[in-house]
Amino acid sequence: MSSPDKPAPAPPLAYGGQAVLEGVMMRGASSCATAVRSPDGSIAFDVHTLDGAQRKKIGRLPFVRGLYVLVDTLNLGFRALAFSARVQAGPELGTSDVPIAGSMALAVLAGLGLFFLLPAGAAYLVEVVFGLPAAWGTILEGLMRLALLLGYIGSIGRIPEIARVYAYHGAEHKTIHAFEAQRPLTIAEIAPFPREHPRCGTAFLLTLVVLSVIVFSLIGPMPLGLRLLSRVVLIPVLASLAYEYIRWTARVGERPWARLLVLPNLALQRLTTREPDGAMIEVAIAAFEAMRKAEGTVQPTA
């Protein structure tokens, strides 16, 4: 029998998900389900099908699939966040996603400025003032980007509402761990599993930051304008490389030497997850089972 300390081999299909406001989104091969705890204590659902044929076709194309997954994840994440916001706000928010879409667009632009353009500009200034070689400036830029990422994740985690999202993030990971270990999806069975998971989006962010140092170092010195432009233009390249790296580490993850590669990613998830309570795990189970029912992999219960 499997145990939380030694999971059984994962099934061929790797499920994923995302934490939202008072809820969890679970994504499968052809369906996606978001479960959110309503203010009255009930669980609200948003279930929809995905373009499985297109996903399967693009999934065979190395590097191209990484960019597709990034755009697809952002799209699904926006829908899940918008749904959770509507559930929490009730009739006051209405049915339009326009205000939420505007907020998401501003958040993406702010993220580009904070995590890509600001470190590049600051490192360039240090290079000019202190006469550093471009290679050292690129390393400094990467360290600044990593420091900003860690500082941002850690600081917003102190906000009570975000801390609860982090706890739902932990519930999502624990539920997927339990399924991959072929354990019953009950609160008691799921709770002992770790709240970190090697396929987490947090792992993607850290991998992207590390790869940015390598890729940007290969470009060499540039004027400030071109340097800033390159940081934005090469984001799809970095995303594709990061995705392929994470896929590879997932395939070889059971080998002793490969476990060292995922340790930094798992350590970072200590910042982006919290220990969930039973009610949060219940919502994660509900989202997972709703997704699987939509895919026809389990029979609906009465």
Model pLDDT for residues 223-282, shown as the tens digit of each residue: 999 999 999 999 999 989 998 898 888 788 778 888 888 889 889 999 999 999 999 999
Best CA proximity match to 222, nearest among 237, 209, 211, 234 = 234
Q: Which band of pLDDT confidence, cut at 50, 70 and 90, is reported for residue 157? A: very high
Three-state helix/strand/coil letters over 261-279: HHHHHHHHHHHHCCCCCHH
Produce one character per residue of 2-18: b if its CB has 16 or more CB atoms within 10 Å, e if not.
eebeebeebeeeebbbb
What percent of the chain is helix, strand and coil (3-state, nearest 5)?
Answer: 65, 10, 25
pLDDT for 289 equals 97
Residue with tokens 């624990």: 174
Supply the pLDDT for residue 7.
46
pTM over 0.75: yes
